[in-house]
């Protein structure tokens, strides 16, 4: 078979490309078609494990929406930012050190043949390939090295939708300006404009859509109402982080290094009832505060917490936002693409002291992956992978960074867990690991009686003696229904229900016949 291709382009980042691509994947899959998603290059620290390595989370969810098995061809190139000027390059699921060292523009010639082959294979094996672009297709300074937008569209002869965020204002100018900056051959691929995140009476848009069509020949095929709680994780996890993180970065001294700060002293804490024996005096949290450092990763895994009744999930960037937490409330240190750098940022904001103070009151602190590494005594980096430095000293463990990266699915059963997570004792869980480095108990501290308790096998999770500090390497914990039920007695909407809701939504709001017309017979694709 040779697939028809539909491509979602955006006037800007954040216009709605990822969720619309996901919705289209399920819409066409519901027609009985064999569907696959594709994004040539994704830049995100949200990634998921597949058989051959890792891909961007957005393409992982799009594959599930398409009822396809997620695989590396669906996102052949993944860039994971480690610094403002450097990214780790993942090609076909694996870290490529040579490409990681290469200048941005110099990569295109090297990676395009791999991208084109992956796309060609998906086109041959499916009925429909739904392609997502990146940023804007009209970035004229990047056009000569484009490998993700119009070069892909022309290669696949894709029927393209151009989506814009009308809630930002200037939507018609964004659409017209983007169209006007494309070459004539590229313009012919644009089959419709989509106005996303509209609030109000759609009749008030007139005569804008008709005037735009008169100028471009392209109809506006959908006006999508604002939908706050569709249930799909946002690709970048935090809705409002960008302006704050820019400000946060400027608070660091020149060069990005934090001023020297003494490591927090070890916290042993007051005795907690039932610590280590599967019972706990903690009640359920009302607030879960996730620290949003600059190189956060895999924040999409917290989406289910937003749907738990009675839980207020908030992103934290300064100590004041942790004020007023009860001991039963949680602080979460999430994953990080650059653990030592984010730890320096955390200290520069004074968040280390605030986290230690919460732990000192017996408050619950959870570290996931890079967050687990931060909670320990030290980061040791003999290979120059991440960086050396003292940890927060809230867990008696040490992390040794290794040259090889751990990327794998894991299933395990919790042993006896204490403190606020006591309900996890004996619970079977599944998730995934994506990290450099291995963590183990601090031998000298263990000899002195300060022992980190292993609560998952294989070095996956450690807990302090008082039970209020827990570190786990396993991502996806809150996406496991058994974990949600054990901790909160709650269930959240399944991904299947989310995908069906997205497909129904676009089916109702696109002009009749448009979505089917996009995959109607068309001239053969270009090579």
Spatial CB neighbours of 265, under 8 Å, sequence gap ≥ 6: 356, 393
For residue 475, what are its two tokens?
Answer: 């991502």
Q: Which helix (H) or strand (E) element contains residue 443? A: helix 443-447
Contacts of 419 (CB under 8 A, 6+ apart): 272, 275, 280, 282, 364, 463, 466, 467, 468, 470
Q: Which residues, in sequence order, are bridge partners of residue 290?
A: 315, 332
Distances (CA, A) of 198 to 143, 171, 179, 314, 410: 30, 10, 21, 25, 41
For residue 412, the cross-strand partners are 429
Nearest Cα residue to 236 out of 18, 26, 76, 430: 18
Which residues does the annotation mark as catalytic? 369, 475
Question: 92-95 long-range contacts, Cβ below 8 Å, gap at least 24?
Answer: 92/52, 92/53, 92/118, 93/50, 93/52, 93/53, 93/54, 93/55, 93/407, 94/52, 94/53, 95/405
Burial of 33-42, coded b for 16+ CB within 10 Å and e otherwise, reads bbbbbbbbbb
The 3-state secondary structure of 75-97 reads CCEEEEEEECCEEEEEECCEECH
Other C-beta atoms lying within 10 Å of the C-beta of residue 309: 8
Residue 520, number of CB atoms within 10 A of its CB: 9
Question: Can you tell me the distance from the alpha carbon of 180 to that of 92, in angstroms, rounded to the nearest whole number?
Answer: 34
Interatomic CA distance for residues 165 and 122, integer angstroms: 30
Helix (H) and strand (E) counts in the chain: 17, 25
């Amino acid at each position: 078979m040779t697939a028809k291709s539909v491509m979602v382009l955006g006037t800007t980042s954040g216009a709605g490309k990822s969720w619309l691509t996901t919705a289209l994947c399920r819409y066409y899959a519901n027609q009985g078609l064999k569907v696959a998603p594709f994004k040539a290059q994704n830049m995100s620290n949200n990634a998921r494990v597949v058989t051959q390595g890792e891909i961007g989370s957005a393409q992982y969810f799009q594959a599930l929406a398409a009822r396809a098995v997620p695989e590396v061809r669906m996102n052949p190139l993944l860039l994971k930012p480690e610094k403002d000027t450097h990214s780790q390059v993942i090609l076909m699921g694996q870290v490529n050190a040579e490409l990681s060292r290469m200048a941005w523009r110099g990569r295109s010639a090297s990676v395009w043949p791999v991208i084109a082959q992956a796309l060609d294979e998906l086109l041959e094996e499916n009925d429909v390939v739904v392609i997502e672009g990146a940023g804007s297709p009209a970035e004229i300074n990047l056009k000569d090295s484009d490998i993700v937008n119009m070069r892909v569209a022309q290669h696949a002869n894709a029927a393209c939708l151009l989506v814009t965020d009308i809630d930002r204002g200037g939507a018609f100018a964004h659409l017209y300006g983007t169209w006007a900056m494309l070459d004539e051959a590229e313009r012919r691929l644009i089959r419709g404009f989509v106005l996303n995140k509209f609030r109000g009476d759609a009749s008030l848009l007139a005569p804008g859509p008709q005037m735009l069509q008169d100028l471009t020949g392209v109809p506006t095929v959908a006006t999508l109402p604002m939908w706050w709680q569709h249930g799909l994780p946002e690709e970048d996890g935090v809705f409002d982080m960008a302006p704050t993180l820019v400000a946060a970065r400027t608070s660091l001294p020149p060069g990005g290094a934090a001023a020297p700060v003494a490591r927090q002293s070890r916290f042993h804490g007051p005795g907690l009832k039932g610590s280590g024996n599967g019972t706990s005096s903690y009640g359920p949290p009302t607030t879960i505060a996730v620290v949003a450092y600059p190189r956060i990763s895999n924040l999409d895994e917290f989406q289910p917490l937003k749907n738990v009744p009675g839980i207020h999930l908030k992103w934290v960037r300064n100590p004041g936002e942790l004020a007023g937490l009860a001991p039963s409330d949680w602080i979460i240190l999430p994953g990080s693409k650059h653990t030592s750098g984010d730890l320096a940022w955390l200290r520069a904001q004074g968040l280390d002291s605030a986290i230690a103070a919460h732990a000192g009151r017996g408050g619950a602190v959870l570290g996931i992956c890079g967050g687990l590494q931060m909670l320990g005594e030290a980061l040791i980096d003999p290979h120059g992978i991440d960086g050396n430095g003292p940890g927060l000293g809230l867990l008696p463990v040490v992390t040794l960074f290794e040259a090889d990266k751990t990327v794998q699915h894991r299933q395990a059963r919790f042993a006896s867990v204490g403190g606020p997570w006591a309900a996890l004792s004996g619970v079977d869980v599944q998730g995934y690991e994506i990290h450099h480095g291995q963590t183990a108990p601090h031998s000298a501290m263990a000899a002195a009686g300060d022992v980190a308790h292993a609560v998952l096998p294989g070095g996956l999770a450690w807990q302090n003696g008082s039970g209020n500090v827990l570190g786990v390497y396993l991502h996806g914990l809150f996406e496991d229904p058994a974990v949600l039920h054990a901790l909160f007695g709650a269930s959240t909407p399944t991904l299947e229900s989310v995908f069906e809701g997205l497909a129904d939504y676009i089916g109702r709001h696109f002009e009749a016949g448009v979505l089917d017309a996009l995959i109607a017979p068309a001239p053969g694709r270009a090579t």
